[in-house]
A and B are shown apart, each in its own frame.
Chain A
Amino acid sequence: MSQHEIDEPTGVDTTGHEWDGIRELNNPLPRWWLWCFYLTIIWGVGYTIAFPAWPLINGATAGLLGFATRAEVAADIDRYAQQNAGLTSALAKVELASLADNPDLHRFAVANGAAVFRSHCSQCHGSGAAGAVGYPNLLDDDWLWGGALAEIAYTVKHGIRNETDDDAHYSQMPAFGDLLEEEEIAATVQYVLQISGADHDTTLAQDGAALFEEQCTACHGEQGQGDRSQGAPNLTDAIWLYGGDTTALTATITNARFGVMPAWGQRLSPSDVNAVAAYVHGLGGGE
């Protein structure tokens, strides 16, 4: 077997290995090629020592170089935070009314605010800020507590009807189911439909006008135009937070509503509050 032979058709050496009459040709590689192969093995072993590699029960070997992708991300975040430190501190202190005069800071605020919004606000208001039933749409021009930049920032910072921040916006609509008869509520509903320009029952609405005057104008105003100081919605426009049909309005008047928003000033940094306010202000409804 160890004798080597020349294969006649190809003129190539054989290795001397033979299986069932089939002989292996010897087309040799250069030796440096073999050394490169050994080198990759050595490199591979070194690599598993230097970098995280061998799986253990809880995690893997850390590697001598202490490399970790998580640490890299953390370092990246730190680096960006450091790069943006000037803008961040300027944003925390800025007079919001004059933010638009500083295009660089404004651009930074909106970009930063978009990120804050996606992580903290989109759960209720939606990733596109279109809201949902009971959670205001932030894209439109209707604001319960004011749509100027500073007003939005205040709402974000202190929240609405929460128990954690004494400065939170607060108001409470009575549950008229305890105060009015069902027929009276039905009449009030028809009147509200009338002032909002929807189809309604004219006779019932006439009765409702008196009830509205008596029960609702203190907060919602003489014409039902609402009052932002109390977060009382404008009832004459086309926007309904909890729905504008008879069933939804009846439920609203009977049981009242009590929408709560957390005080984000307790969780976000002042610059993040201003950033997200700038972002929301720039979504199309800002005043």
Chain B
Amino acid sequence: MTGTDTPPSLYAPQEPIFPRRVSGFFRRLKWWIMAITLGIYYLTPWIRWDRGPSLPDQAVLVDLAGRRFYFFWIEIWPHEFYFVAGLLIMAGLGLFLFTSALGRVWCGYTCPQTVWTDLFSLVERWIEGDRNARVRLWNARWDARKWRLRLTKWSVWLLIAVATGGAWVFYFTDAPTLARDLARFDAHPVAYVTIAILTATTFLFGGFMREQVCIYMCPWPRIQGAMMDDDTLTVGYRDWRGEPRGKKRTQGAGDCIDCMACVNVCPMGIDIREGQQMECITCALCIDACDEVMDRIGRPRGLIDYLALSDEPQERAGEAPKPLWTHILRPRTMLYTALWSLIGAGLVFALFIRSDIDLTVEAVRNPTFITLSDGSVRNSYTVRLRNKLGDARQFRLSLSSDALLRIGLEGSDRNIITVPADSSTMQRVYVTARPHDRAASIDATDLRFWVEDVENGARAYRNASFNGRVQ
């Protein structure tokens, strides 16, 4: 135990971080991922998809008011929400898979917090310069130049933030219409409030909170520990190669020349040479930085690298590590892959067997039957037909049963139900057994309702039961 006189602070200060520009394989990969993910986010609402005259022509649209989800050729109704649930489960399992194989690869490459922070840092570097210039600016007095640079940076950040919040609302209603309404200031207040909130969070999280979000706000880093093991590849430092640190020419020194490149490029402000730690999002920029230095001093690359903990003993002993695939292909990752594929295949299967005719039959149970004046027994059913197409459809309703039963529709002499485009219709249907037929006096008779599309002959059925008058 060591003692000092000043009591420790109970609050952690936010240390300013000035990540240096770096280039290399992982940096290029991250630029590409940033371009693709941001491109998908900003452009998707503007893709058009023709679905006929009475349906929206936006390829991806979450129509909350109309309770429809459109995704290109797929249209999901509320009762098919299991597709969305399935996709969420797949997303979860996918995260498990990637985390158990590659550690916090989600955090380092694709998490929106990382992507937008990267974008904000890029803007920062353009306007205020690289690390050293920014450190100087940080320490400088608030003179005209500092104000100009800061205000420029904040303005560009704000523009990005507005575009980010703005893009979000386009997913929920027709994008061109909303864009026009937004510009004319007569869009719904909810749109403006949503944009304002998302603008504020983007501006704050991407510009000022950055690593604080990952360390103190996000629950995911804590959960991920449970998904990683000795075989998981994470960013690490080969201390058996690097230590002891020293100048290039010093006798007996390791490869690490203590140039601080890995620390200076780190967006989380940590030293990876202290080992894997909670703050590390495995963005791999330190690998790029160190490789650059190793090239320059003529030492092999990979002092900082993607490493598995289980390889450490061999590597320390100077032996070759296990081949990469043994870290990736192991029961755990295969199980995650199998589960992921199983659910994916199930969803695709469910998507393809989705009937073109969506039909439910609900027997009226209050009362189960009634007697008509001629002594016939009648049951009522509520038939609900959904038409997911862009044109009105006509369906012919009929029934089949071993017993003699007659079908009739409320308010219609014909057994035809017309369902308008993209909507559902409820129809009250009557089934009658004559007084002396067996069905009229026994408890239950099986029957099957058939629905046939008048135009294309597609058929669907639902089983039901007919209740007779039991003395």
Contact = CB atoms under 8 A, between A and B. Distances in A.
Interface string B321-365: 000000000000000000000000000000000000000000011
Interface of A: 2-6, 8, 13-16, 26, 28-34, 100, 126-128, 130, 137, 139-142, 197, 234, 237-239, 282, 284
Q: 3 closest pairs, A vs B, by CB?
A: A128-B366, A237-B373, A238-B375
Contact of B372 (A13, A126, A140): A140
A284 B380 contact: yes
Contact of A5 (B3, B411, B428): B3
Contact of A30 (B212, B375, B410, B411): B212
A3 B5 contact: yes
B10 interface: yes
Nearest to B209: A32
B368 to A, nearest CB: 9
16 contacts: A2-B7, A3-B7, A15-B8, A26-B8, A30-B14, A127-B366, A130-B367, A139-B380, A140-B372, A140-B373, A140-B378, A234-B373, A237-B373, A237-B374, A238-B373, A239-B372
Contacts of A142: 372-373
Given A128-B367, A130-B367, A284-B378, A29 B410 contact: no
Interface in B411-442: 411, 428, 430, 435
Nearest to B430: A284
B43 interface: no
A190 B2 CA distance: 112
Dominant secondary structure of chain A at its interface with chain B: loop
Contacts of A31: 11-14
A239 B443 CA distance: 20
A141 B376 CA distance: 11
B367 A3 contact: no
Nearest to A128: B366
B177 interface: no
Contacts of B9: 28
B399 interface: no
A239 B410 CA distance: 21
B385 to A, nearest CB: 15
A142 B371 CA distance: 10
B375 to A, nearest CB: 4
A284 B410 contact: yes
Contact of A28 (B4, B12, B374): B12
Contacts, number: 94
A142 B374 CA distance: 10
Contacts of B374: 237-238
Dominant secondary structure of chain B at its interface with chain A: loop
A239 B11 contact: no
A117 to B, nearest CB: 13
A8 B3 CA distance: 12
A224 to B, nearest CB: 13
A29 B217 CA distance: 11
Given A142-B373, A239-B372, 15 more contacts: A6-B2, A15-B8, A26-B8, A28-B8, A28-B10, A30-B216, A31-B13, A31-B14, A32-B14, A126-B367, A127-B366, A142-B372, A238-B373, A238-B374, A284-B410
A234 B373 CA distance: 9
A238 B367 CA distance: 17
A141 B11 contact: no
Interface in B1-54: 1-14
Contacts of B10: 15, 26, 28
B216 A140 contact: no
B370 interface: yes
A139 B11 contact: no
Interface of B: 1-14, 212, 216, 364-367, 370-375, 378, 380, 410-411, 428, 430, 435
A286 to B, nearest CB: 8
Contacts of A2: 7
Given A4-B8, A32-B212, A282 B411 contact: yes
Nearest to A30: B12
A173 B5 CA distance: 107
Nearest to A234: B373
A161 B71 CA distance: 61
B446 to A, nearest CB: 22
A26 to B, nearest CB: 5
A14 B2 CA distance: 11
Contact of B371 (A33, A234, A238): A238
B5 A5 contact: no
A20 B435 CA distance: 89
Nearest to A127: B366
A43 B214 CA distance: 25
A194 to B, nearest CB: 15
Contacts of A141: 372-373
Nearest to B5: A3
A100 B410 CA distance: 12
Contacts of A4: 3-4, 6-8
B338 to A, nearest CB: 39
A5 B11 contact: no
Contacts of B365: 128
Given A8-B1, A140-B370, A284-B378, A16 B7 contact: yes
Contacts of B372: 140-142, 238-239
A52 to B, nearest CB: 23
Contacts of B378: 139-140, 284
Q: Which of A29, A238, A282 has the most CB of B within 10 A?
A: A238
B4 to A, nearest CB: 7
Contacts of B8: 4, 13-16, 26, 28
A15 B8 CA distance: 7
Contacts of A137: 370
Nearest to B1: A5
Contacts of B3: 3-5
Nearest to B2: A6
Contact of B2 (A5, A29, A239): A5
Contacts of B216: 29-30, 33
Contacts of B428: 282, 284
Q: Which of A3, A8, A16 has the most CB of B within 10 A?
A: A3
Contacts of A139: 367, 370, 378, 380
Contacts of A130: 366-367, 370
Contacts of A282: 410-411, 428
A2 B8 CA distance: 10
B387 to A, nearest CB: 16
A278 B375 CA distance: 25
B7 A34 contact: no
A100 B411 contact: yes
A167 to B, nearest CB: 27
A4 B10 CA distance: 11
A130 B212 CA distance: 66
A39 to B, nearest CB: 14
